[in-house]
Amino acid sequence: MIADAKDPRVWLLIDNRAGNKSQVLGVAQALGLPYEVKDIAYNSMAVLHNTLLGASFKMLTPPTRSHLTKPWPDIVIGAGRRTAPAARHIKKLSGGKTKLVQIMYPGSRGEKDFSLIAVPSHDGLPKAPNRFEITGAPHGVTADALAAAKQVWAGKFDPLPKPHVALIIGGSTKSLTFTPDMAKQLGEQAASLASEAGGSLLITTSRRSTPQATQALMDAVGDVPAHVFKWGDEGDNPYMGYLALADYVIVTGDSVSMCTEACATSKPVYIFTPKGLISHKHARLHIDLYAKGYAEPLTQATSLDDWSHPPLNAALDIAAEIKQRLGLPA
């Protein structure tokens, strides 16, 4: 429980990983409380295991440490292994008063310091009193965010024939490569589905999309009408506009965040899962999304069918659980 449940101080630990940032902000926005963003930058010690770091600021740069000072917050929300030692140290410095919320498993060292750990069900972790299972990852693709994006991008894609098919492309991960051959296969499948429906593609790549893979995809798309935004292009990124205005969404399965953000819409979602790109953990997520009706495998799509599903956003579930566990007003 929090002493001042009506006006708690909330800190968000935001590091340089886009997925972590999206998840933390998504939960904070769903929680609906004022918050302070604490930007986290690491030094060379961040590569050390959390078992060695303990509850400390050892892995933080001096500028980062300088803005982690009193008055200590009531709640800290962080994501990913690297923020966990800092969160635990903040709790220690507060005399144990700060409550810690962690998105994704921080490791067994100091796990009991956390009031709530939101773990994806596809991680397959055993149950524990402070663990809360979610589907996918929390994010900020809410109904309000989609409505706002719809207004911003309204009419921008109207010259293209409908239906509009968003094609959301990730890329290589730490251990697996999104090859040009995979990109070619994806481009051919997406182009075929859009062409057969008489529609067009809304294509966006990410920082993990190599120039070689991007070129292979664009070559495969050929002359199918398309709006294209490549990572690094000038101008506003239309990602949210694509999600808001597309009639269908095709997404590569290499990113938990991208898959769950696609499923935040109620539109048909198809996941591209080529052999050699998808880890066992990601595969378990895809199976879960298929079973719950949020998505279908792209390989099984011979045409674009009309179907829908409830919007998926674990941030709302986590926020509700935080309020219940910490005695905050609903």
- Cβ-defined contacts of 59-63 (< 8 Å, 24+): 59/85, 59/86, 60/86
Domains of the chain: 10-140+314-326 (3.40.50), 143-300 (3.40.50)
Tell me the C-alpha distance between 83 and 39, whole Å.
Answer: 11
Rg of the chain's alpha carbons, rounded to an integer?
21
Tell me the C-alpha distance between 245 and 227, whole Å.
Answer: 13
Sole residue written with tokens 């524990």: 128
Helix axes 314-326, 18-31, angle to 10 degrees: 60
Residue 49's H or E segment, with its range, is none
**DSSP class of 272:** E
Q: What is the phi-psi region of residue 213: left when phi exceeds 0, alpha when psi lies from -120 to 50, beta otherwise?
A: alpha
Tokens of 118: 């939101």
Helix axes 180-196, 211-221, angle to 10 degrees: 30
Q: In 3-state terms, what secondary structure has residue 24?
A: helix
What's the whole-number average pLDDT of the chain?
A: 94
Mean pLDDT in residue range 229-258: 96
Tell me the C-alpha distance between 112 and 118, whole Å.
Answer: 13
Tell me the C-alpha distance between 326 and 6, whole Å.
Answer: 11
DSSP-assigned beta bridge partners for residue 297? 271
Non-local (6+) Cβ contacts of 155 within 8 A are: none
Non-local (6+) Cβ contacts of 62 within 8 A are: none
Tokens of 256: 């938990």
pLDDT at 61: 98
Mean pLDDT in residue range 178-194: 98
66-85 residue pLDDT tens: 999 999 999 999 999 999 99
Tell me the C-alpha distance between 136 and 307, whole Å.
Answer: 21
pLDDT at 236: 94
pTM for this prediction: 0.85
Decide: 32 and 320 in contact? Cβ < 8 Å. Answer: no
Whether 48 shows a pLDDT value over 80: the answer reads yes
What count of residues does the chain have?
330
pLDDT at 3: 54
Spacing of C-alpha 81 from chain mean position:
16
What number of CA atoms fall less than 13 Å from residue 131's CA on the CB side? Answer: 16
Q: Which of 5-14, 103-112, 138-147, 192-201 has the highest mean pLDDT?
A: 192-201
**DSSP class of 42:** B
